[in-house]
Amino acid sequence: MLNRRDILLTAAATGSVAALALPARAQTATAICYNCPPEWADWGGMLRLIGQRLDIRVPPDNKNSGQALAALVAERARPVADVVYLGGQVGPQARAAGVIEPYRPVRWEEIAAPLKDAQGYWFTIHIGTLGLFVNTQALRGRPVPRSWQDLQNPVYRGMVGYLNPGSAAVGQLGVMAVNLALGGSFENLDPGINFFRQLMANNPIVPTMTAYARVLSGEIPILIDFDFNAYRAKYTDQAPAVFVIPQEGTLQLPYVMALVRNGPNPAQGRRMLDFVLSEEGQRHWANAFMRPVFPGAMPAEVQRRFLPAAEYQRARPVDVLRLAAVARQIAERYQREVG
């Protein structure tokens, strides 16, 4: 019988790979997550943590919520993704499209009813408050805007940015936040659409992808965005950043995750969903300045870096089902009347 040395010599002499039929080292598992961009909500840190704790490699993905849903629909016959991360209103849309399936992860029962689908199709992992993420140095002496209406001031021409409401969940939330603040409703979008049409006179910057780095560089001095990105810029990246809750009021949005229907790696997808709700996963979100779905995971020292509670009284939770019902209308009206 050939020993290992004989096998190696035979392989070297014959060039035969088959002769090297030695035990293979186990490979790291893989899971695909749509809309997990490293620069957004510190998904970069979470993906590294998942690799360390679960030995699951999750490649970063820079889709936004609308693009992720469109890809899931296009790939329905042969899904590529295993899990998906979405702005709250897109969770119900994904269920209606038949591209996600029920999964009740660890601690699902602890999630408040408004923050999850009753049958387990989607569930919240963290929450953000929409407002103004401002690079004060890039303002070059101009005052920090304090209201939605301030953004139409000509002194901010070419300085205001927001993600495209045609596909980005945060962009659609921005339209609704302004709409409600200026007297509109879920049934009447006119104030919000009119605001963004008028804002076009100020030459806004309208990216489709997360623009965090563009605010840090000063390319976009004022971005309609979430508190967690502004706090991360200020406290983690030491940037000259502030967060402003507009005087007219704003909205808070849950961000949700779901298991993709018939995804190629469902076991790894479920492990990943369990982890983002675990104590360690929730602490990660809190340390990155998201409000975790389980408030007890928020360290006191992190909470102290948020604006005072009195400021947050101007922010109210959005009804994701009502927002989902008009999300397509927001996108279509924006593209037709503004964009």
Task: Reply yes or no on whether the pLDDT at 180 is more than 70.
Answer: yes
CA distance 189 to 179: 6
Domains of the chain with CATH codes:
29-127+253-307 (3.40.190.10), 129-252+311-337 (3.40.190.10)
**pTM, full prediction:** 0.87
CA distance 257 to 245: 26
List residues bridging with 115 in a β-sheet: none
Task: Reply yes or no on whether the pLDDT at 120 is more than 60.
Answer: yes
28-37 pLDDT per residue, tens: 799 999 999 9
Q: What is the mean pLDDT of the chain?
A: 92
With a CB cutoff of 8 Å and minimum separation 6, the contacts of 218 are 135, 137, 138
User: How many Cβ atoms from other residues are within 10 Å of residue 114's Cβ?
Assistant: 12
Which amino acid, residue 320?
A: V
52-68 pLDDT per residue, tens: 999 999 999 999 899 99
User: How many Cβ atoms from other residues are within 10 Å of residue 200's Cβ?
Assistant: 12
Task: Reply yes or no on whether the pLDDT at 303 is more than 70.
Answer: yes
124-134 pLDDT per residue, tens: 999 999 999 99
